[in-house]
Amino acid sequence: MEEYRLKMSNISKSFPGVKALDKVQLEVRPGSVHALIGENGAGKSTLMKCLFGLYHQEEGEIALDGKNVDITDPNTALKLGISMIHQELNPIPYRNVVDNIWVGRFVKKGVIVDEEKMKTMTEELLRDLEFDIPLETLAKNLSVSQLQAIEIAKAVSYDAKVIIMDEPTSSLTVAETKHLFKIINRLKSEGRSIIYISHKMEEIFEVADEITIMRDGQYVGKWAIGDITIDEVIRQMVGRDMEERFPPAEDTIQKEVLLKVEDFTSAEEHSFEHISFELHKGEILGIGGLVGAQRTELVEAIFGLRKISSGELTMSGAKIKNQTPQDAIKNKFALLTEERRATGIIPMLSVWDNTLVVAYRKLADNILGVIRKKKIGKKVNDVCKELDVRMAGTDTLIKNLSGGNQQKVLVGRWLLSDCDILILDEPTRGVDVGAKYEIYKIMRDLVRRGKAIIMVSSEMPELLGMSDKILIMCEGKLSGILDKTEANQVEVMKYATMFSNKAKEEVSE
């Protein structure tokens, strides 16, 4: 047997103006989990897309079990025994679970699709992996973690030699992640190779055998997991020392209560109810809780995106109403949504346009709304510089920036709109360690300037490291508000599971 199941050597790939991969290599042993790590924009996804045939490298070779292969499209990759769990969940909304799993390789009986057989196969597959999902459900009615489970089941069902997992746990709970690791270990014992991409260091050190680090489209090195520490990984990724994961806390909280939320209850059933809290100027309020705690729903309701059946907002002593996002923006609220790609960036527009989406009308302050580029341009440049957005220029398309830089542009969008209350929903999801730190620094800087931040976060270290106060929700109810001095992981989890037996089980697992 070859030493390496998969050997990618000297892979180079350019996009207009960017050298995305520069002579990168990757060597994966059979029956092992190989973590591929790097900041966003380091080229991990590009490398995997070359492997899966979505891109074709300009230079370099890919060898499977010692034989050179030419992977021109996903179909070829699948036939060669390479399957992939994609970072972006890509369900076919109006098709059921069975169709979503077997798309591309339906079982036939003559010319007819053998529905019965596919159903049995799906049943077996899901039972085998211990996923409990009703087969006839349409994908549009599945939860994100169920969709993720289907992606996993699908990738496994290809019976592949190499399985690429691109951030498979981004929408999984702790218990579901454990479940995935069990599956990974089984696949490993069957001799399959897994390429595991994740930003979560704890996960990588739990599941991986070897680790390859990339930086700026280049290969940095390969280590056995026992030979390297988390700090060393981060240093190699970022290319500099990272003393701290969070900028130091400062005492920026002012006396003045900027926003008072009273008795907020959703107009929808099974959503949040009777939520009240206060937000001071210069304060970062974290909102914690498990998936399904209705945190996003709450902040979106505060921003006027969802209807409420009761509740009052008081801003600096005056009653306000946010019935639509337009109201909210007028009242100097800002919202960075959870789904950056779906509801944040406008991919085919430039950084310039993306920055100005909210502020265009305000900055073009003449009657006709004529845009004077020079006048506005300085503001755009200033804000991009201030936030340290890394790009070729403001006319770069935003889709070509890394996740962290996209997020900075979105923050800039709201800064130009002159907001006072910034609501950040999972501000660092899909953002790498280095850029995370920069976003944290920006947050600190904003509260120093007297703005207030509401941050929804599912990442415990972030919640504990950044919040002045943590509001914890459980199944739509407010279960507790902790000051940062009394908050720790155990306390937060206690409140997050307060009203729910199901959630408790999940934590105790």
**Number of chain residues interacting with another protein (CB under 8 A):** 24
230: contact with another protein by CB under 8 A: no
75 is a contact residue toward another protein (CB under 8 A): yes
Q: Cβ neighbours of residue 427 under 8 Å, at least 6 residues apart? A: 336, 407, 439, 443, 455, 457
Cα-Cα-Cα-Cα dihedral of 181, 183, 189, 195, to 10°? -60
Nearest distance, CB of residue 94 and another protein, angstroms: 5
Site string for another protein, 12-51 (x = CB under 8 A): ----------------------------------------
Decide whether 52 or 437 has the Cβ nearer to another protein. Answer: 52
Q: Is-contact 24 121, C-beta < 8 A?
A: no
Pairing verdict, β 469-474 and 284-288: parallel
Asked if residue 90 binds another protein (CB under 8 A), the reply is: yes
Q: Determine if 78 is a binding residue for another protein (CB under 8 A).
A: yes
Please state whether beta strands 333-336 and 421-425 pair in parallel, antiparallel, or not at all (unpaired): parallel
The Cβ of residue 204 has, within 10 Å, a number of other Cβ atoms equal to 20
Q: Which is nearer to another protein, 139 or 284 (CB)?
A: 139
- Of 31, 60, 74, 325, the one binding another protein by CB under 8 A: 74
Mutual orientation of helices 433-448 and 403-416 as an angle, nearest 10°?
A: 20
CA–CA distance, 378 with 336 (Å, rounded to integer): 23
Q: How far apart are CA 481 and CA 236, in angstroms?
A: 38
What residues pair up with 480 in beta bridges, in sequence order?
472
Q: Is 247 exposed, middle or buried (0-12, 13-18, 19+ CB in 10 A)?
A: middle
Q: How far is the CB of 343 from another protein (least distance, A)?
A: 15
Is there binding between residue 242 and another protein (CB under 8 A)?
no
Closest approach of Cβ 122 to another protein, in Å? 14
Q: Among residues 32, 80, 97, 99, which is the contact residue for another protein, using CB under 8 A?
A: 99
> What letter does residue 248 receive in the DSSP assignment?
P
For another protein, give the closer residue by CB, 78 or 351: 78
Per CB under 8 A, 7 contacts another protein: no
| Whole-number Å distance between alpha carbons of 21 and 27 | 16
**Minimal distance in Å, beta carbon 114 to another protein?**
10
347 binds another protein per the rule CB under 8 A: no
- The window from 31-39, 92-100, 189-197, 430-438 that contacts another protein (CB under 8 A) reads 92-100
Among positions 100-129, residues that touch another protein (CB under 8 A) are 103-106, 108, 111-113
Q: Which residues bind another protein (CB under 8 A)?
A: 52, 54, 74-75, 78-79, 84, 86, 90-95, 99, 103-106, 108, 111-113, 154
